[in-house]
Amino acid sequence: MLDGLTPTQFSALVRLVELGESSQNRLGRLVSMDVATIKGVVDRLHKKGLVSLAPDQTDRRRTTIRPTEMALEMIAELHAMGSQISEETLEPLDGDERATLLRLLRKII
């Protein structure tokens, strides 16, 4: 299942698991995706059985998105994969360069 996740799907799913539930609009803002992109991401995650959709209880125009049990069960693997990708990305850098890069990235996010 993890092999089929794109980076944008991965990002949205990890953030959604952290939140527990969210509106599509809020999730898009939190993962820096525009309205069209987050809609497509959520639709694909739903087709994969990783999120459930339900009408918002306070505003029927909105949809509430929740991670499914399948998503919750695979979150540890998602975090491990993210750590591995980060380690591979930073591998060419020495300790000082890594620290500098991470400090600079934190300034822009």
Fold of 2-108: Arc Repressor Mutant, subunit A (1.10.10)
Least Cα distance to 25 among 68, 64, 71 occurs for 64
DSSP-based three-state secondary structure for 63: strand
Contacts of 1 (CB under 8 A, 6+ apart): 48, 50, 70, 74
Least Cα distance to 49 among 65, 75, 77, 68 occurs for 68
Dist CA 102 CA 96 (whole Å): 10
pTM (predicted TM-score): 0.74
Dist CA 12 CA 17 (whole Å): 9
Q: What is the pLDDT of residues 36-95, one digit of tens each?
A: 999 999 999 999 999 999 988 888 888 899 999 999 988 888 778 888 988 999 999 999
- CA pseudo-torsion sign 76, 77, 79, 80: positive
pLDDT at 61: 83
Q: For residue 60, give the DSSP letter.
A: T
DSSP-based three-state secondary structure for 99: helix
